[in-house]
Amino acid sequence: MASIESTTASESPVAPIPGGTADEVEAEKASPTHAPAEATVEGATRELQQALGVVRRESSHDERAAGVARLVEAVAQLTASLVSMVTGLLSDLRTARHAAPKGGGSGPALGEKSGASSPPTGLAPRATRLSAIKDDAGAITVRTPDGYMLKAEGREEAWRLTGPDGHTTRVWGDPHVRESDGDRWDFNERGTFLFGGNKVTVEVNPAKDGKTITRRLTVYSGDQRVTIGGIDSNTPFIQALAGDGREHDDQLQDGISFWRELRARGESWSRSEDGKRRTMGR
């Protein structure tokens, strides 16, 4: 069963996610229209990294070289950020080209399956993009356009969701959930958590004694999605970065749906049972 835990996180800005799968991202970079800008920035990054390697080798003998190494490293990090920015801009252009539905119709709103009614809290699609980054510890952080942060921790089969209000829900194990207001509860099958203008669908694998653990997460925000695999092995990785959020959401079943609400003590989650709203952990 999964658990939810409350903490307030403060992290550095993250790089924008390019639209498309890994293969599509590479194809986008190879496009004649976009290649010159990215090639220039990436070439500069490679040159800086080579220079940094040379200076580091000398830094053990010369304090001045050590200072230069720090300077070159800072410039290299800045250049890498520029690469991410250029890639993100190209992703926006790509999304804009393909966002208009064929035949002039509009697709279902986020959180709405074809032929199904909308969830109690209507979630409208957003035009801006998700962003994601993997840190040195192996954790993956995804940020939504409306200020939510989801982090796959890389331990205890855990992930956590922090709202723009600073309240955090943590899910871990088989799987347990801990809310920031102290309430705890479990779930044992595929589920979807809806928050703000977004949702995350949690796929599970069988575990011992008939229980389950989180296998994969897919975060949706409008047409954008990020899929993170390896949760069950504590080695999270970005499986897909794509602009096919609506189509993918139609194909992946939600399972049980949970809706986030903000209360005086913190966030709370609820589900619909027999036509009535039930607050979890109560």
Average pLDDT of span 241-252: 96
pLDDT band at 56 (very low <50, low <70, confident <90, very high): low
- The CA distance from 149 to 168, in Å, is 9
Q: What is residue 276's predicted lDDT score, i.e. its pLDDT?
A: 84
In a 10 Å sphere around its CB, with 0-12 CB exposed, 13-18 middle and 19+ buried, how is residue 144 labelled? buried
Q: Tell me: pLDDT of 189 over 50.
A: yes
Question: Collapsing DSSP states into helix, strand and coil, what is residue 169?
Answer: strand
Q: Tell me: pLDDT of 73 over 80.
A: no
Q: What is residue 124's predicted lDDT score, i.e. its pLDDT?
A: 41
For 59-63, 75-79, 161-165, 170-174, which range has the lowest pLDDT when averaged over its residues? Answer: 59-63
Q: Are strands 266-273 and 176-178 parallel, antiparallel or unpaired?
A: unpaired
Q: What is residue 123's predicted lDDT score, i.e. its pLDDT?
A: 43
